Structure 1
Amino acid sequence: MADLEDTKPLRDLSEAFKELAATVDSPTADVELAQFARASSLILPLIRSLGIAFKFAELSYASTVNDLVKASKSIGTLQALVDGEIEANTARKDTSNTRNLLRVKRGLEVVRAMCEQTLATDANSLRDPATKAYTQVFASFHGMAVKKAVAAGLYAMPTRAQMLKKLNEDEYSSAAAHMQSYVATSATVIQYIGRLFHSRDLSNVIGYMPDREL
């Protein structure tokens, strides 16, 4: 077992999404559900490092990724997952793995936005990047109660230095390179999932979801 001090969540995330993006860009672009679920699970350390403001996302995201991991034992690819549930007329159900795929997509989006906003400023505070990331990805799906809870949590955001320490990063330049890589490669993956939904006329699934959802 690797020593805890040797773990590098940002490096692992960056490498996993490079591989995933390469699969998406391949001629077949048939993404294995197991590979996708594993790569997506590597987001969790970063979400945890953001503190209480994103606790709602952490809890829901962890449960949802776990559901996809379980599904990957019997379902080969993302296409097979969605097409199978469309055929079974279950894709639009709240508990479907098609919905779970959407929830994970939003988790990838909020972390991507957070990384992008963090890289765009020299400030040590993460409150502004986190606020912009939340507004960009989640705010339109949440009611006032959730928005107020998130706004309160933003005042307890760790600093950038504190976040990087939790992620076992000693140098910002190295961490920034990993974040920039994730920003680029996750965009490819997120766009792929979006095309998968749109090509199967699942706009209602992509649209409004209740407050408890990612």
Structure 2
Amino acid sequence: MEEDKTLRKMAEAFKELANTLNQCPDGEEARLELAPFSRACSLVSPLFRCLGIAFKFAELDYVAKVNDLADASRSILTLPVMMDGDIEANCVRRAGSHTRNLLRVKRGIDMVKVLFEHILSSEGNSLKDAASKSYAQVFAPYHGWAIRKAVGAGMYALPTKAQLLSKLKEDETSARIQMQSYIASATAVVMYIDQLFISRKLGIDW
């Protein structure tokens, strides 16, 4: 399987999303289109795969929910329109709703951002500390005991930093540049999605 330029594709796609958000006039709600958003999110999936068994649950869950949003993008133009449709249908919190899936996908984007932050700030070749901290920060509060235990066990099978970069076909310098770019752009996208939920009084902790 070719993982060539996974990091670059991710970074570029999220940079385009962030640029779209930045172009929105002050005081107006940005209308991020669902199709480019779901495409950008799908480019993150190979990274979960590279992390191995510890993040298998995240990969499977994330891919299924991104696919749902991609399907929805055939008939729904923007994220706000999608959410407002679910609010109108009174199905926001129902399992399988687009809005619920968006919240889960947002956590996947956020976890990768936090993982990259920890990787860039840590020394050495182990990913265990960075992966454990990012999981604990983003996913663990929403997972039951069984999943947390399985993830903890899987942390011992993580690739090393060198192995991850090799799988991604990057060297330290190029990886750092792409990770920093993704962190900046994903931060803007995550904040935007959080604001969509908060402005509609839906909350983000569920």
TM-score, L = length of structure 2: 0.95
| Candidates 5, 8, 21, aligned match of 2:18 | 21
Give the conservation status (yes or no) of the 8 Å contact 1:37–1:69: yes
In structure 2, the residue matched to 1:207 is 205
| Unmatched 5+ stretches in structure 1 | 209-214
In structure 2, the residue matched to 1:135 is 136
**Secondary structure, aligned partner of 1:31:** coil
Deviation at 1:4?
A: 4.4
Distance of 1:139 and 1:4 partners within structure 2: 30
Specify whether residues 58 and 175 from structure 1 end up closer, same or farther in structure 2 by C-alpha distance, changes over 3 A only: same
Deviation at 1:46?
A: 1.0
Deviation at 1:152?
A: 0.4
Q: What's the CA shift string for 1:1-54, capped at 9, x where partnerless?
A: xx948x300001110011000111112521000010000111011111111100
> 1:90-105 residue pairs with structure 2 within 5 A?
90-105=91-106
Q: After TM superposition, what 4+ stretches of structure 1 lie above 3 angstroms from structure 2? A: none
In structure 2, the residue matched to 1:185 is 185
In structure 2, the residue matched to 1:74 is 75
Deviation at 1:122?
A: 2.1
Distance of 1:164 and 1:96 partners within structure 2: 35
Deviation at 1:84?
A: 1.0
Q: What's the CA shift string for 1:184-211, capped at 9, x where partnerless?
A: 11000000000000000102xx223xxx
Q: What's the CA shift string for 1:117-160, capped at 9, x where partnerless?
A: 00001211000000000000011111221111111000111001
Distance of 1:150 and 1:142 partners within structure 2: 10
Distance of 2:63 and 2:159 partners within structure 1: 21
Distance of 2:148 and 2:102 partners within structure 1: 23
Aligned residues: 202
Aligned identity (percent) is 55
> 1:1-214 residue pairs with structure 2 within 5 A?
4=2, 7-27=4-24, 29-169=30-170, 171-203=171-203, 206-208=204-206
Give the conservation status (yes or no) of the 8 Å contact 1:17–1:186: yes
**Secondary structure, aligned partner of 2:95:** coil
Deviates further, 157-166 or 25-34 = 25-34
**Secondary structure, aligned partner of 2:75:** coil
**Secondary structure, aligned partner of 2:94:** coil
**Secondary structure, aligned partner of 1:155:** helix
Distance of 2:102 and 2:145 partners within structure 1: 25
The two structures, once aligned, show a CA RMSD in angstroms of: 1.3
Deviation at 1:91?
A: 1.5
**Secondary structure, aligned partner of 1:177:** helix
Amino acid at match of 1:117: H
**Secondary structure, aligned partner of 1:197:** helix
TM-score, L = length of structure 1: 0.91
